[in-house]
Amino acid sequence: MTTLLIALLSGVGFLVAYNTYGRWLGSKIFRLSAEAVCPSERLRDGVDYVPTSKSVVFGHHFTSIAGTGPIVGPAIAIMWGWVPALLWVVLGSIFIGAVHDFGALVVSLRNNGQTVGDIAGRVLNRRVRLLFLFTLFMALTVVLAIFGLVIAAVFQQYPAAIFPCVVQIPIAIAIGVLLHRKGVDLLLPSILALGVMYLTVIYGNVGYLSSFNSALAAWPVWTWVVVLLGYSYVASVLPVWTLLQPRDYINSLQLISALALIVLGLFAAALFPAEGKTLNMVAPAWDLNPKNAPIIFPFLFITIACGACSGFHCLVSSGTSSKQLKDEQDARFVGYGSMLTEGFLATLVIVACGAGLGLGLMKDDALLTGEAAWAAQYGDWLAAKALGAKVGAFVQGSANFLQTLGISAAVAIALMGVLVASFAGTTLDTACRLQRYVVQELAATLGGKKLREDGAQSSGPFTLLQNKHGATIFAVVMATVMAAIPQGGAEWSLANAGKGGLTLWPLFGATNQLLAGLSFMVIAFYLWRRGRAIWFIVIPMLFMLVMPMWAMLHQLFIAPGWLVAEQPNYLLGGIGLATIALEIWMIIEAVKLFPRVRGVLEENALDRQPA
């Protein structure tokens, strides 16, 4: 029963937080108003700015911020014990992550749907804006370079997930056309789409489709990277209602219903256990010294990002979601609610890996249960942190829950594989659209084309990158080049291509969390300039600035750190030092400015009348 109570109490905690702390933030701090005109209405262009119902925006936002992060992070961090992992997920989501996402969304809504990097130039200064945008550009380039590899790895591990994921695209386009052009009510298409998608999971790996899945699973990594980045280009330049919105929405229906099945399976496993399969937490409550693991502080807070707090989320909040909300009051549901939903997903991952895995794990043709299953999967940090192991622990553990409902092992594993791959796919195409915005903003800052008062456009050296196609092509090419670089000095060949993103991936954890701290800084300055309370945001901001820097310094200088290893990694070391310098520079700029701007609206503020 302990395992069931963990999930239930966490879920209740998230609901209470949404209706208390989240409500207070929305009404007393951000002062959301139904009378406010959102950017989607004021700047409506039918491509990026499209007024949309909150349920559809929620679907887009949730699937975009979740990705594989709330799965792979908790699935490895549980090695320090399920208690510290759970505490960080629950408390982090409520008081840090959801506040971060909600705040970034509101600030962007009040600034024409601009990214937090662009907004930093007004609420702080132009230097911070440029530094922020470069940080966003590097982080998104790594995401684009790595996620093709992630999806390829999931498909190779679970081929039955391929056809259900592919067929989501035409379903999404059909839904988009029905809703946007035909004005059809959302309910019936949603039910039909959900039914079709579940049918593709059940029957998507039989007969010819099995051969189809096997053929695509055999594709080399570089092929998947090229195909997925090409798809991302198309998804990025199309109007959001065509593919991005409906795909994310129908994905969210499938993913949330899958989470509901996991919860039902958890109930069944706890209350009606099969013979010899008692549900217990086989993961340790605490283990501060797992084999070959780094120290728990600060790395717990870097390993679990999505699911507690992630800097990437500020890009989704301020890059795409803020351009789609049609009512400012929907921001709490989308910004705060999506993060709490992701926190609940991370909780289920902890339960699946910590208890569900103990219901049965096949290892070397032998069925292991209980603590033996845990030890086989989590005996060594170096083995457990591999992508296949992390994903496999969640997929197997959650599939065990589904099997208690009478669902076959093959369908259960396929469904969980689709869940992981779908999350990764929605993050990839959203990241590409976000990178396009960042490239366009950078190009404007560095001298790109400007729109004159008479409506004519002046030219500049970066004019092409102001165009959505030019900016997207540049983003895709940069990610492709990074992915093509052989990892670890291996020779250039097609066999080694597609994995280059792994070269810089060790930097991403700390850099991503640093981004959250910097985003908090922008939110704090926005409120401070309007005379609002910021006490609730100062501790999260400091926490998300200190922990990433601590982790980065540890990776740089504590053996076997990048700069003190027998064979130093000067690439990672140099970028790591530059990242620390960037953070310190922005903090200095903020500290110098802070005492002077209390109650002083920034120049060219877009919400002159306090909301």
- pLDDT tens digit string along 159-216? 999 999 999 999 999 988 888 777 777 778 888 999 999 999 999 999 999 999 999 9
pLDDT at 484: 87
Please give the torsion angle defined by the CA atoms of residues 482, 486, 492 and 494, in that order, rounded to the nearest 10 degrees: -80
Give the model confidence (pLDDT) of 147-159 as tens digits: 888 899 899 999 9
Q: What mean pLDDT is predicted for residues 420-430?
A: 89
Give the confidence band of 608 by pLDDT, cuts at 50, 70, 90: low
Pairing of strands 366-368, 361-363: antiparallel
Question: Per-residue pLDDT for 55 more than 60?
Answer: yes
Q: What mean pLDDT is predicted for residues 434-456?
A: 70
- At 202 the three-state DSSP class reads helix
Token pair of 274 as six digits:
């099969």
| 35 vs 23: CA distance, rounded Å | 18
Give the confidence band of 393 by pLDDT, cuts at 50, 70, 90: very high
Give the confidence band of 459 by pLDDT, cuts at 50, 70, 90: low
pLDDT at 104: 98
| 96 vs 310: CA distance, rounded Å | 9
8 Å CB contact between 130 and 445:
yes
Q: What mean pLDDT is predicted for residues 568-589?
A: 90
Residue with the larger pLDDT of the pair 129 and 461: 129
- At 295 the three-state DSSP class reads coil
Question: Per-residue pLDDT for 451 more than 60?
Answer: no
Give the model confidence (pLDDT) of 231-250 as tens digits: 999 999 999 999 888 999 99
8 Å CB contact between 34 and 328:
yes
- Amino acid in the structure at residue 259: L
Distance of CA 404 to the CA centre of its chain: 30
Q: What mean pLDDT is predicted for residues 374-393?
A: 89
Can you give the pTM of this predicted structure?
0.93
Give the model confidence (pLDDT) of 439-449 as tens digits: 998 888 887 55
Give yes or no for a cis peptide into 560 (omega within 30° of 0): yes
Q: Ranked by mean pLDDT, which of 62-71, 82-91, 183-192 comes out on top?
A: 82-91
pLDDT at 486: 81
| 74 vs 80: CA distance, rounded Å | 10
Give the model confidence (pLDDT) of 254-277 as tens digits: 889 999 999 999 999 999 988 778
Q: What mean pLDDT is predicted for residues 368-383?
A: 92
Question: Per-residue pLDDT for 117 more than 80?
Answer: yes
Give the confidence band of 517 by pLDDT, cuts at 50, 70, 90: very high
| 565 vs 388: CA distance, rounded Å | 27
Question: Per-residue pLDDT for 340 more than 90?
Answer: yes
Question: Per-residue pLDDT for 251 more than 70?
Answer: yes
Give the confidence band of 460 by pLDDT, cuts at 50, 70, 90: low
Q: What percent of the chain has pLDDT over 70?
A: 97
Domain ranges of the chain: 2-514
Handedness of CA 26, 30, 33, 36 (dihedral sign): negative
Nearest to 314 by CA among 423, 228, 232, 437: 437
The secondary structure of residue 565, as a DSSP letter, is S
